[in-house]
Amino acid sequence: MTKTIKTDILVIGGGLSGCMAAINAADHGAKVAIMEKSHTERSGAAGTGNDHFWFYDPEIHEPRGWTIPDMVRDIAFDGEYGKTKGGLMDQELLEIVAEGTKAAVDRLESWGVQFKYDKIYPWNLQYDTPEGEKKYRIVPQFQSEWDTLNYDGRDIKHRLTEQCLKRGVNIFNRVAGTGLLTQDGRVIGATGVNMRTGEFHVFQAKAVILATGMDQWRLFKPRNGNWFNSQSPPYITGDGEAMAIRAGAEVFILQAVKTQHNGFQYWRNIMRSSPAATTCYPAGRLVNAEREVMIKHPAAREPMRKYRQNVEDSVAEGKTPFYLDWTDAEEEEIQYALWAYGNEGLCWALREIMKDLDIDFRTHMIELELEEPGRPTGGFLAPLVDLDLRTSLDGLFACSPIQFAGEVAAPTYTVLGWRSGEKAAEFVKDVPDAELNAEQVASEEKRVLEPINVDEGRTWQEVNEELNQIMEEYKKYVAGFNPPGKKDKMSLIGLQNTLDLLGKLKMVKMKANDPHELVRCNEVMNLIDVGILMVKAAFEPDQFKRGSWFLGKIEDGEAKFRLEPIRIKYPSKEDQ
């Protein structure tokens, strides 16, 4: 059975950015549909809640002498976050994000997400407001100025879903996008499959917005060995990226690198939330086995480099393991952080587990997972968009995944999603309907449904495991035993083997026993396509050139690569 839907704009992925895109496109008069693999009320990285949101408020920040260019410079280069991004930030898009954050907060607030309170605390930024007006709870984070709101973000996705429905957005939950439909290089729709019924969906649209999230989870072996014990949703598997690549869109490619720091984010063995980062502000301290403080305010991640040194010294002196320690905190500080836990990801579940096990922050320290330095991490790729969120293909917009345009966090995708909705709505006004190509649809249906139609084949888990093994080899050849960019013979032979193995893996038949497994098989097929382009890119000598984005696309079945200079609007203060 095939279902056909006609709409002006199709949004693939109903996460934070996708819902924002849909709402704004509808506000601009377009007929909008969302295709969402999970359920928009709880899907995506924000599905279990967010507790902090960085923003720029001219009324608060200007009097403190901090401008939008300062913020952009901080996030792109000079702040603790910027320093980790190797100059790869799109500053022009980031500026748009920074300028849009205050309006985004106002908008979310008008939809029932609480950001302002009668009471603020001594550890929040103190600022003046007219008598009786509620205030933001502002805390420090990565930037040199205090810019991050603590807020009641637990149900943010519910509120966004309500706004979509209010505007008549047609939401197709449990339908996973599988491919883009094109005509003469223009994107005119997409296909998907229902994860519960297996029904194939064909969407005809004048514009498509990719909003499937910034992750290619399950491409590489997870650090803790378990695909589904992860902070990011394990079903964000590079589907949007693979769809874009197959349709011929140009993508930005980042190769594997080695981690540079000893970081703390997780409780030991629990990778599902980040209770040792921003959320435990103000009282959660990170200490070594002798209760010497490594960092006082993990929220500020400041001074990151000094704290790494402290951690490394402690490791060298055997003062391990490390702990999250609240035992000296005031009761009000504990209550504040427990409130933040209630809003952030799965930290609320950690609170419940603590209750069950009789663990109390007032008396117990929690052991932390220490990220080892020098570990090769995976590569990444995403469509490159212009300032109007247009990809290189006519009719295809993207708000997530895209090149880096801010911290990979809620404000960036809230603002960019909103903008993509408006730009796509403007675009469709002048675009005539296109006729779907029946042959293309039939071939896509055959490709997508094959795992459920074949009599036998390997399970998606077997193929995914093998993909992980191959991509681990790729990481070593690129970032492991040779410095990045150095093309010794051994590494090139290794990379060629990796590519050959991926080519063979792509031909392997998988067998799905039900529609759920069918979607998992399709995720693995997508990850293989992403992996192949990433490995092909690794042969190119120019991929690590500083000051450029390394771009690739598939044209007439061939991978083509080029460099694009990164526009620097606000140079690092350190370079001036």
Ligand X SMILES: Cc1cc2nc3c(=O)[nH]c(=O)nc-3n(C[C@H](O)[C@H](O)[C@H](O)COP(=O)(O)OP(=O)(O)OC[C@H]3O[C@@H](n4cnc5c(N)ncnc54)[C@H](O)[C@@H]3O)c2cc1C
Question: Segment near ligand X (CB under 6 A), from 29-37, 312-320, 460-468, 480-488?
Answer: 29-37
Q: Residue holding tokens 């933001």?
A: 136
Q: Is residue 176 involved in binding ligand X (CB under 6 A)?
A: yes
Output the smallest distance, CB 259 to ligand X, in A. Answer: 19
Please provide residue 148's backbone torsions phi and psi, each rounded to the nearest 5 degrees: -115, 130
Q: Give me the least distance between CB of 532 and ligand X, in Å please.
A: 18
The residue (of 72 and 214) whose beta carbon lies closer to ligand X is 214
Candidate list 81, 123, 307, 413; residue touching ligand X; CB under 6 A: 413
**Rounded Cα–Cα distance for residues 299 and 283 (Å):** 10
Q: With contacts defined by CB under 6 A, how many residues of the chain interact with ligand X?
A: 41
Q: Does 239 bind ligand X (CB under 6 A)?
A: yes
Q: Is 236 helix (H, G, I), strand (E, B) or coil?
A: coil
Count Cβ neighbours within 10 Å for each residue of 210-229 and write b for 16 or more, e otherwise: bbbbbbbbbbbbbbeeebee
Using the rule CB under 6 A, is 528 a contact of ligand X?
A: no
Q: Which is nearer to ligand X, 8 or 344 (CB)?
A: 344
- CB-nearer residue toward ligand X: 55 or 477: 55
Minimum CB separation of residue 17 from ligand X in Å reads 3
Contact call for residues 58 and 70 (beta carbons, < 8 A): no
Strand 285-287, strand 323-325: pairing: antiparallel
Site membership for ligand X, residue 344 (CB under 6 A) = yes
- Residue from 418, 385, 422 nearest 103 by CA: 418
Among 8, 25, 53, 216, binds ligand X (CB under 6 A): 53
Instruction: Give the residue, chosen from 7, 24, 43, 101, that forms a contact with ligand X under the rule CB under 6 A.
Output: 43
**3-state per-residue secondary structure call for 388-400:** CCECCCECEEECC
Identity of the residue, 16 or 366, whose beta carbon is nearer to ligand X in the bound complex: 16
Q: Which residues, at least 6 apart from 395, have a Cβ–Cβ distance to it below 8 Å? A: 186, 187, 188, 206, 207, 208, 427, 431
103-111, 407-415, 443-451, 566-574 -> range binding ligand X (CB under 6 A):
407-415
Residue with tokens 């139609």: 453
Which of 17/24 has CB closer to ligand X? Answer: 17
Q: Which residue is nearest to ligand X (CB)?
A: 15
Residue 527 as a binder of ligand X (CB under 6 A): the answer is no
- The residue range among 35-43, 306-314, 369-377, 421-429 that interacts with ligand X, by the rule CB under 6 A, is 35-43
275 lies in the site for ligand X, by CB under 6 A: no
Residue 510 sits in the site that holds ligand X (CB under 6 A):
no
Cα–Cα distance list, 256 to 148, 482, 496, 537, 538 (Å): 30, 12, 16, 11, 9
Q: Which of 7, 10, 26, 52 binds ligand X (CB under 6 A)?
A: 52
β-bridge pairing 396-398 and 200-210: parallel
CB of 300 to ligand X, least distance (A): 15
Q: Of the ranges 308-316, 408-416, 460-468, 498-506, which one interacts with ligand X (CB under 6 A)? A: 408-416
Provide the token pair at 506: 């792509």
**Cα 397 to Cα 385: distance, rounded to the nearest angstrom:** 8
* Residue 409, burial from CB neighbour count under 10 angstroms (0-12, 13-18, 19+): buried
267 binds ligand X (CB under 6 A): no
- 114 or 496: CB nearest ligand X: 114
The answer to the question of residue 97 lying near ligand X (CB under 6 A) is no
211 touching ligand X, by CB under 6 A: yes
CB 12 within 8 A of CB 145: no
Q: Report the interface residues with ligand X, using CB under 6 A.
A: 12-18, 35-38, 43-46, 48, 50-53, 176-177, 211-214, 231-233, 235-236, 239, 273, 344-345, 400, 408-411, 413
